[in-house]
Amino acid sequence: MTTTTASFAARTVFRIGYGALQLERLHDRRGEAVALLRRAVELGVDHVDTAEFYGFGFANAVIREALRPEDDVLVVTKVGADPNPGGRLPLRLAQRPEQLRASVEDNLRSLGVDRLAVVNLRRLDTGPGLRPEGDQVVDLDDQLAVMTALRDEGKIGAIGLSSVTLDGLRRALPAGVVCVQNAYSLVSREDEEMLQLCAAEGIAWVPFFPLGGAFPGLPKATDEPAVHAVAESLGATPSQVGLAWLLHHAPNVLLIPGTANAAHLEANIAVSEIALDAATLATLDGIESRSNDVPIG
């Protein structure tokens, strides 16, 4: 069995958190969204990942309504993009220092707090998705300067990085980084060296797209015959096996699977109880790692 807790931003959290992106699927059923988040807390979740651009503020509004101070949930948000209602994509890049500051203020307001515990600076240097252009190409040092200023002002408690390169992480270490969010899964392990650096530095590794396959053409853990075979032998689902592998792979991995379904939420939480023996891990480790670097245009 793996340890069920890990260090994150100078506290200890349950290794399976909740990613709030999927809450927007319950936009017209706000009561269900609040109840789902309450259920997550009941199941032990004490780490929630969100952003102002999730559902154009809906996710933050649900978190504000559902979570109570006594729940002691670590709410992690991100900046680097803003909501873009009516646009071709639901978000627009917001990488410039003044935009990062404005995004922090937006998150403070929508979450109803005077300090954000952890804020991830969403770079766009790596992984699937958009790449910055024009005035959105901003030097990392300029971004870290405003992030550390916001921390000094008490508006944010700690700084994380997302979609960052190994070189970028090394450059950012002196600023104090508590977590890295990159696309990473059993079938896309390009960032292995960065994961190991995070483990050595006591930095939480919080993979997004933890099962791969977020965009067409990208590899999916749940498509792998070996994953299906392991799932069948354990009486688990292929998704659970893909998530369990992440927990076994390194002790600083934290998961933030998202869902709008209570049964799926319970299945995600149950991953903490799945044991993978050495032979099973060797089988899964033998699965080929493929690139997930497929920009969308």
Catalytic center residues: 54
Phi, psi of 141 (to 5 degrees): -60, -40
Q: Which residues of 98-115 are buried (b: 16+ CB within 10 A; e: fewer)?
A: ebbbebbebbbebbeeee
Q: Mention every residue, 6+ apart, whose C-beta is less than 8 A from residue 36.
A: 23, 26, 259, 260, 261, 262, 265
Whole-number Å distance between alpha carbons of 220 and 212: 5
Whole-number Å distance between alpha carbons of 201 and 204: 9
6 vs 70, 192, 197, 220, CA distance in Å?
A: 20, 19, 16, 26
